[in-house]
Amino acid sequence: MARSSTLAAALLFLSASLAGCSSQRRLPNVVVTIAPVLPAQQIIVLYQLKGSFGTYAQRDFIQSTQTRYLIKAGAAGKSADHALIYLWTQGCELATFDVDIGWSSDLITRTFVCKPLQKAVLKGQVQAAALVKKRAVEIEVAYWPDWQCNTFAFGLQRGPFAPISCEDGPMLVGEGKVDSRGAFEVELSGLSPGPIRDSFLQHDILEFSLYDSKTGDSLDVRPASGPIYVASAYPQPVVLVPRKRAP
């Protein structure tokens, strides 16, 4: 009788354990395959997961020579219900993957294929004769995709997950020479605007800098008409003026 009771108790415990295991689902994987058509450069990966754990966002950097990128679609041991994924690299259109995870599969795959963007020519004029007179002046145009720092910043919930921070600076997207009259022409890499638009934050802005190629001295300038945003074409010349120094 005692043996029967012990056996029944063991079977009951085993049944409960199996039921508990079956109710716990392994965290699904989202795999993004990188199509091998890119030049050797950096890709920014930005994704947000949502589920019963709340909201979790992550930013990562990979090389275009990498063939796949794996996302564990969950946090705090709980599966995500939804994933929003962005991949961006210079010269390619921003790729967006909106993935409903649910209970569909333990493995979800997407493919990132570079959709090349046309290069754009930006012409302009430096309105400061003293800056360019008798100097070998060159111009650099840079772009900082700062949207990667703010895209999910307002959706993060309090908890163990820290907001995304950005400490990296702008990347060079074009350079050229400034002639003795102050005119310049720069061919810019194809750039894709970021995924967010916020009236309080300015994103997708080009930054301009001049320097004397002989001495290395920098010449601080700004666009006279206000910020110049990333675009597919720049039909109007950009006028640069000296930046006023704070008193």
174-189 residue pLDDT tens: 999 999 889 999 999 8
The domain total for the chain is 2
pLDDT at 55: 86
Host domain of residue 76:
25-112
Q: Are residues 59 and 126 in the same domain?
A: no
Residue type, 130: A
- State how far the Cα of 82 lies from the Cα of 98, in Å rounded to an integer: 8
pLDDT at 18: 43
Helix (H) or strand (E) holding 53: none
Q: Are residues 104 and 169 in the same domain?
A: no
Of 142, 146, 141, 240, the C-alpha closest to 202 is 146
The answer on pLDDT for 76 being more than 50 is yes
Are 88 and 95 in contact by the 8 Å Cβ rule? The answer is yes
End-to-end CA distance of the chain: 95
Among residues 112, 146, 180, the one where a domain terminates is 112
Are 96 and 195 in contact by the 8 Å Cβ rule? The answer is yes
Largest CA-CA distance found in the chain, in angstroms, rounded = 107
Are 125 and 239 in contact by the 8 Å Cβ rule? The answer is yes
Domain-embedded: residue 5: no
Q: Are residues 185 and 226 in the same domain?
A: yes
Of 194, 171, 150, the C-alpha closest to 41 is 171
Are 165 and 95 in contact by the 8 Å Cβ rule? The answer is no
User: Which tens digits make up the pLDDT trace of 126-143?
Assistant: 987 777 777 889 999 998
In which band, very low, low, confident or very high, does the pLDDT at 82 lie, cut at 50, 70 and 90?
Answer: very high
Q: Are residues 82 and 143 in the same domain?
A: no
User: Which tens digits make up the pLDDT trace of 5-62?
Assistant: 555 554 454 444 444 443 455 788 999 999 876 667 888 888 989 999 888 888 888 8
